A and B are shown apart, each in its own frame.
Chain A
Amino acid sequence: MIFNTYWFVAFAAIVVPVYWLLQKPFLRIPFLGVACVIFHFQFAGPAGMMPVIALGLVTYLLALTRNPAACIFGIILSVAALCFYKYTHFIVVDLLGVFNPAWATAAQTSANKLLPGAPPLAMSFFAFEFVHYLFEIKRGGTPLKNPLHFLIFSLFFPSLVAGPIKRYGQFIPAMLEGATKIRADDLSEGFRRIAIGFFKKVVIADNLTLAIDHYVPQFGTLDLGVRWFVFSLIALRILMDFSGYSDIAIGLARLLGVKLPENFNWPYAALSIQEFWQRWHISLSSWIRDYVYIPLGGNRHGVVRKIINGLLAFGLCGLWHGPAWHFVIWGVYHGLGLAVCSNYSAIPKLGPWLSALLNRRPTICWISTQLFVWFGWLIFFYPLPEALRLARLLFNQ
């Protein structure tokens, strides 16, 4: 985590007060731009920065043309860059390798010569934000003319590493407002969110990570009750880790007077899978909805198409989290859950009865939703055979 490095603490301790002291927007905005570049350089290094700068420059220039074909080209370029840097190994070894291992080996050797040791920092976030930007311009949005504004939108340091995924239509006005005036409310809310975020991340999530890493390898030797307890800790850990990070990002942005969109809203209070995805990683799920699910046709072409679109969108959502099959399976698992959840009431006889029962008994809805989500975390964190083994152990002595 970048936010709990001493470098970042020192960086923020300098940048935030200087930003406050500058007071005038014509000073604050360039200063923020420089700070964002320094931050990105520190954690991405020159090799990690170059692809992002190149992609950003192309995105900025293509958007200025307002030409739909140019925007589509830019979108394809962003997706291709993401696939190249993050998914080449997965595509070559895990996909191509299934059909022809010899080709996979040859392609992997060639790819290794071109690929850096690790993908550029936060490549997934850059790609998604650039795609969103070009998509909106193609739809008739106004491109950002000021390159500094585009640079800050792209490299805004509080949200650079783990989101929330920004929308330029919301971010730029918020950034300009912050550059004009920072209110006491911004500072108090910013500090509050940062404190909550660090508590969630450092005190709760990091401790849970240590405990889970210790107990999961000996899962089979634990008492059944302890297994369920550890199982619940896995669910708690990812929420605290991810939402803690988002809280810090939102709080830091708020110290600069910028309101970022919320990313989590008590997801474990959800009574259905749909509701869960309205509460969990909101900026990602809404991005998937707006730029994958709806363009695929959404729910406009019948139930079968709706289900297929949902599975595709969630498969991609899973893959976004990492280039491995268990992420894809996790996404498809949620896509299936969503399909069942949104269509079960149409099943003759059983559907209306079940729907009436669940409406009367929200506790059943809550328990079934949470169990579904929590079992999903096993698939998310562990390779499928291991996830299934752990799941089986929850029911066997």
Chain B
Amino acid sequence: MRFLEFLAALRHFPLSPKILVVGVLIGFGTLCFLGRKAAVTDKHEGFVRLTQWVAPETKYYPTVNELMSIVRSAIKPDQILVIVGGNSVTRGVGQPADKIWTKRLQTLLGDGYCVVNLAFNGSLPTDGGAVVAEALRFEFPRQIYIANAAPTQAPNPEGSLVYRFVFWDAWAKGLLVTDDADRNAMIKESHSNPAFGYLPGFEELRIRNFLDRWFYFQDYWNDITLTRFNTVWAPYFPGLSQFLRARNTFPDPEPDFLAMPIENRYIPAHLEAEMINVRGTSVYAYDPVKNTAGQWNVYQPVWDQFRARVKGVFPKALKKRTLILVSHNSPYYLNKLTPDERERNTLAYDLAVKEWESAGYASLQYGSDFHPTQDYGDRTHLTWKGGEKLAAIVATKIDSMARELGYLKAQSAPAARP
């Protein structure tokens, strides 16, 4: 009772406005300080990949500072940084954390490299990991960025609508290349065209990022929700009350495709729909029928647009260190294509790789010779066995890229930021 009386008395305690305002300012300043501290401290202990608990699927929006801190705590001095971006395929959906392909890649590359998987589900090559790599270009100049894409899939320079918050967060903090004319023109174009849907909500995003640049509220709250308690519910959380747990107490929930019955992975009822997707990777890129000489003619508008976007989607200076993996669909489905469709599919992949390379990137395709069900978990995702094959292909490519880029010549200190 005494305590309640004390509280009641406190409510009527004469408080001068100045003291109150000073108190509010001190409290606010303290929170900003804690946010700033959280921004440079990695709280993702034992990080393997961005699980659903730290991704927008569960209403969690990692900041660029947070993602950079993951990299900083993973890398050792003199290691070459390999950041993996891309989508659920490179994120390793269907591969348990201890068998994920990027762990295998790390093993194959050895101690000279540090592989960090920053891929998000359903993201574009320019999302998440791409932004972090660009933001760390001065701190870790010996870096290689890897992402995957489908043929003729032309990404937006600021990333997808879901994940563009990372790009604009980094942009507001002055971490990105801002004077790349091609990229800036593409951003302007995507914002001026309502069909892209990039404008709604953009003003809010810009204001948020401007405020966060000074106050670090997103870093602070991410820290709380990651290590103390979570406040936002999402359907992925088990039960109605589990969502209150700190996010880093949830284990990586990725199942093992190879432990799942094949009919759950290649669902017979979905065959037709999946075949439409498989044909879709090349059907729009070529004329509807072969020409009189029995060859597929490219449908030029698609490739012109692809070429134009690939040209400016990454800053010029960062193209050479970017490896684009053009991912095949599972041979389970490829083998069901007609010979003509299969030929068109192969042409589309070959041409996509060529276009990426012509624009100054490194590129390779993978998967068409993989085992349909042992290496592929479903139409697009690899099993850990397929992941091992991918890691081997990528490791070889990275090694040659590192040589070409001069990374292996000297173990120099990080370059000074201009």
Q: Which A residues are within 8 Å of any B CB, using their own CB?
A: 5-7, 9-10, 20, 182-184, 187-188, 191, 203, 206-208, 210-211, 214, 229
Interface size for B (C-beta < 8 A) is 21
B317 contacts chain A at the CB level, 8 A cutoff: no
Partner of B15, one of A184, A203, A208: A184
Find out whether the CB atom of A210 lies under 8 angstroms from the CB atom of B211: no
Partner of B203, one of A7, A9, A183, A191: A7
Find out whether the CB atom of A207 lies under 8 angstroms from the CB atom of B208: no
Find out whether the CB atom of B24 lies under 8 angstroms from the CB atom of A184: no
Residues of B within 8 A of A10 (CB): 207, 211
Bound: A7/B202 CA distance, A: 11
Find out whether the CB atom of B233 lies under 8 angstroms from the CB atom of A210: yes
Give min CB distance, A216 to chain B, whole Å: 12
Q: Can you name 20 A-B residue pairings with CB atoms under 8 Å? A: A6-B207, A6-B208, A7-B204, A9-B211, A10-B207, A10-B211, A183-B17, A184-B14, A184-B15, A184-B20, A187-B17, A191-B20, A191-B24, A207-B231, A207-B232, A207-B233, A210-B59, A210-B233, A211-B233, A214-B235
B240 contacts chain A at the CB level, 8 A cutoff: yes
Which single residue of chain B is at the shortest CB-CB distance from A210? Answer: B233
Which single residue of chain A is at the shortest CB-CB distance from B209? Answer: A6
Residues of A within 8 A of B21 (CB): 187
Give min CB distance, A200 to chain B, whole Å: 13
Bound: A210/B236 CA distance, A: 11
Which single residue of chain B is at the shortest CB-CB distance from A186? Answer: B17
Say whether, besides A191-B24, A207-B233, A210-B233, A5 and B14 are in contact (CB < 8 Å): no
Residues of B within 8 A of A183 (CB): 17
Give the total number of A-B pairs whose CB atoms are below 8 A apart: 43
Give min CB distance, A128 to chain B, whole Å: 29
Which single residue of chain A is at the shortest CB-CB distance from B15? Answer: A184
Bound: A188/B204 CA distance, A: 29
Give min CB distance, B64 to chain A, whole Å: 17
Bound: A183/B20 CA distance, A: 11
B275 contacts chain A at the CB level, 8 A cutoff: no
Residues of B within 8 A of A6 (CB): 204, 207-208, 211
Say whether, besides A5-B204, A7-B204, A188 and B20 are in contact (CB < 8 Å): yes
Bound: A393/B250 CA distance, A: 34
Give min CB distance, B58 to chain A, whole Å: 10
Most buried by B among A5, A184, A206, A208: A184
Bound: A153/B292 CA distance, A: 77
Residues of A within 8 A of B193 (CB): none
Which single residue of chain B is at the shortest CB-CB distance from A189? Answer: B11
Find out whether the CB atom of A210 lies under 8 angstroms from the CB atom of B234: yes
Give min CB distance, B235 to chain A, whole Å: 5
B16 contacts chain A at the CB level, 8 A cutoff: yes
Give min CB distance, A205 to chain B, whole Å: 11
Most buried by A among B19, B59, B207, B243: B207
Give min CB distance, B263 to chain A, whole Å: 23
Bound: A182/B20 CA distance, A: 13
Which single residue of chain B is at the shortest CB-CB distance from A182? Answer: B17
What are the nearest 7 A-B pairs in CB distance?
A6-B207, A207-B233, A6-B208, A184-B15, A214-B235, A184-B17, A210-B233
Which single residue of chain B is at the shortest CB-CB distance from A42? Answer: B203
Give min CB distance, B53 to chain A, whole Å: 16
Residues of B within 8 A of A229 (CB): 240
Most buried by B among A191, A210, A229: A210
Give min CB distance, B160 to chain A, whole Å: 21
Residues of B within 8 A of A7 (CB): 203-204, 207
Bound: A276/B59 CA distance, A: 36
Give min CB distance, A221 to chain B, whole Å: 14
Q: Please provide the chain B residues from 122 to 181 with a CB less than 8 Å away from any CB of chain A in the complex.
A: none
* Given pairs A6-B207, A184-B14, A203-B231, 18 additional interface contacts (CB within 8 A): A6-B208, A6-B211, A7-B203, A10-B207, A10-B211, A182-B17, A183-B17, A184-B19, A187-B20, A188-B15, A191-B24, A206-B232, A207-B232, A210-B232, A210-B234, A210-B235, A214-B235, A229-B240
Residues of B within 8 A of A211 (CB): 233, 240
Most buried by B among A6, A188, A203: A6
Bound: A6/B168 CA distance, A: 15
Which single residue of chain B is at the shortest CB-CB distance from A5? Answer: B204
Residues of A within 8 A of B234 (CB): 210
Give min CB distance, B246 to chain A, whole Å: 16
Residues of A within 8 A of B15 (CB): 184, 188
Bound: A7/B205 CA distance, A: 10
Which single residue of chain B is at the shortest CB-CB distance from A191? Answer: B24
Most buried by A among B19, B20, B234: B20
Residues of B within 8 A of A203 (CB): 231
Bound: A210/B230 CA distance, A: 15
Bound: A9/B217 CA distance, A: 13
Residues of A within 8 A of B243 (CB): 207
Q: C-beta contact mask, B204-218 vs A, less than 8 Å → 1, else 0?
A: 100110010000000
Bound: A184/B24 CA distance, A: 13
Bound: A10/B217 CA distance, A: 14
Give min CB distance, B192 to chain A, whole Å: 19
Q: Please provide the chain B residues from 109 to 133 with a CB less than 8 Å away from any CB of chain A in the complex.
A: none
Residues of A within 8 A of B235 (CB): 210, 214
Which single residue of chain A is at the shortest CB-CB distance from B232? Answer: A207
